[in-house]
């Protein structure tokens, strides 16, 4: 009985580990010239991002956005995962 419980617990743990792993696709947003949108601070990025991101030309396959640190500032990314 103890062996069956241990096997079930291991199987459940394996399933939960796999279920919690998601592969999100992140897309660095750029302007019309291919230059990435970037800001000096995270606050500036978060304040401007909704205005930039709501451009009707953006791909709605990426319904969420976030600001991430990068070389020389904060960059706007779109993602398909929260």
What pTM, to 2 d.p., does this model score? Answer: 0.62
The string of pLDDT tens digits covering residues 4-32 is 444 444 454 444 444 445 577 888 888 88
Does pLDDT of 74 surpass 60? yes
**Three-point CA angle 24, 15, 25, nearest 5°:** 5
The domain locations on the chain are 24-82
DSSP calls for 3-44: HHHHHHHHHHHHHHHHHT-----EEE-B-TTSPBPEESSHHH
The string of pLDDT tens digits covering residues 36-51 is 989 999 999 999 888 8
């Amino acid at each position: 009985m103890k062996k069956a419980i241990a096997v079930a617990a291991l199987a459940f743990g394996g399933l939960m580990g796999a279920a919690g792993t998601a592969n999100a696709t992140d897309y660095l947003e750029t302007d019309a010239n291919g230059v990435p949108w970037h800001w000096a601070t995270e606050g500036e990025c978060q304040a401007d991002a909704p205005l930039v991101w709501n451009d009707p030309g953006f791909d709605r396959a990426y319904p969420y956005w976030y600001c991430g640190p990068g070389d020389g500032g904060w960059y706007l990314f779109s993602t398909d995962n929260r």
